[in-house]
Amino acid sequence: MKTDTVFKRAFNDALGLIARLPDGAPLPSENRLGAELRVSRTTVRKVLTALAERGVVSGEGRRRLVRAAGRAAVEPFPEVETVPMAAHVERSFMEWTLRDDVRPGTAINERELARRFGVATTGIREFLNRFQRFGLIEKRPNAGWVFKGFTPSFALELFEIREMFELRSARAFAGLPAESPKWRQLGELRQEHLDLLGDVDRRYHDFSDLDSRYHRLINSAAPNRFIDSFFDVITLIFHYHYQWRKHDERERAAVAIREHLTYIEALFTRNIAIIELACRAHLATARETLIRSTAREKAFGGGSGTARAAGGPA
């Protein structure tokens, strides 16, 4: 059966929305709410019914009002029930590979993962098919999947492409006309970097998101769907990687922020040679960090997961 995470997320968001309205205020129209909550009217109506049942809104049809009295008592749905299955599976999979230190070459068993993650095999299959493009798994028809692993060669291949793409985008960015709004956005990001650097001891874990937004801005100078798609790979890898390798996290973030700032200044000069220098320097550091971490993963023992040997049929 389809999960109702969409409804539950929308319900929770609606609670937040209502909290900002005064007692007795009229509710926005169903269409407006739909746009706000990013769901169809069907789901909006379901949310409204649920809110009415809990006494947070009163009235019917066009005459629905906010009831402040009920607001405090209403429990939102627990966070876990609002995450879509696809996201849950992705997260579970990445954590499985990282926590259990799954070895390169390990066979992936659909049924076992389904059991482990608490979903039907269909969900696993769908995830694996989508995830294939990330280069970490490989399909052997009629014989399952193989986990190829966070190996040093994975990191090297990833960064070879990343460097090509990033240099190309940085050059495109430098060529943007002075009146492009992207220069302003770049300035804003510079400020965000400075703010984060000033408070890096407490907020270093915010860097992952800032990093992604920065590189996304650079890429947006000359959009290309294949580059965007590749950047999804980077984002995913770094997201989980940062989450998992806590060692020296603060220090690594601080270094990266400073490199970004140099890179940003370089962009403002619009001098290609200077830009390439800053860009390459930053990517080299990032590559070293990732490679060091893959090597470490390999050196450690462990590897609990499914471990059927992986070879062709026959």
Partner DNA sequence: AAACTGTTTTTTATGGAATAAAATCCAACG
Partner DNA sequence: CGTTGGATTTTATTCCATAAAAAACAGTTT
Binding site for its own copies (CB under 8 A): 6, 31, 34-35, 38-41, 44, 84, 122, 125-126, 129-130, 132-133, 135, 141-142, 154, 157-158, 160-161, 164, 168, 224-227, 229-230, 233, 312-314
Binding-site member from 76, 105, 144, 152 for DNA (CB under 7 A): 144
**Helices assigned H by DSSP within 118-248:** 121-131, 152-174, 181-198, 200-203, 207-219, 225-244
Nearest to 108 by CA among 88, 78, 131: 131
Give least dist CB 278 to DNA, A: 41
Distances (CA, A) of 259 to 41, 87, 112, 211, 262: 46, 32, 43, 11, 5
Residue 139 in 3-state DSSP?
strand
Give least dist CB 187 to its own copies, A: 28
Does 46 bind DNA (CB under 7 A)? Our answer is yes
Residues 102-141 as x/- pattern, contact with DNA by CB under 7 A: -----xxxxxx------xxxxx-xx------------xxx
Determine the size of the site formed for DNA (CB under 7 A): 53
Provide the pairing of β-strand 65-66 with 145-147.
unpaired
Binding-site member from 3, 92, 151, 243 for DNA (CB under 7 A): 3
161 binds, among its own copies, DNA, none (CB under 5 to 8 A by kind): its own copies
251 binds, among its own copies, DNA, none (CB under 5 to 8 A by kind): none
118 CB-near residues (< 8 Å, 6+ apart): none
State which residue, 108 or 290, has the beta carbon closest to DNA: 108
133 binds, among DNA, its own copies, none (CB under 5 to 8 A by kind): its own copies
CB 189 within 8 A of CB 218: no
224 binds, among DNA, its own copies, none (CB under 5 to 8 A by kind): its own copies
Amino acid 249 reads E
Does 85 bind DNA (CB under 7 A)? Our answer is yes
Give least dist CB 133 to its own copies, A: 4
Long-range CB pairs of 72-81 (<8 Å, 24+ gap) are 74/15, 76/11, 76/12, 76/15, 77/8, 77/9, 77/11, 77/12, 81/5, 81/8
Give least dist CB 4 to DNA, A: 4
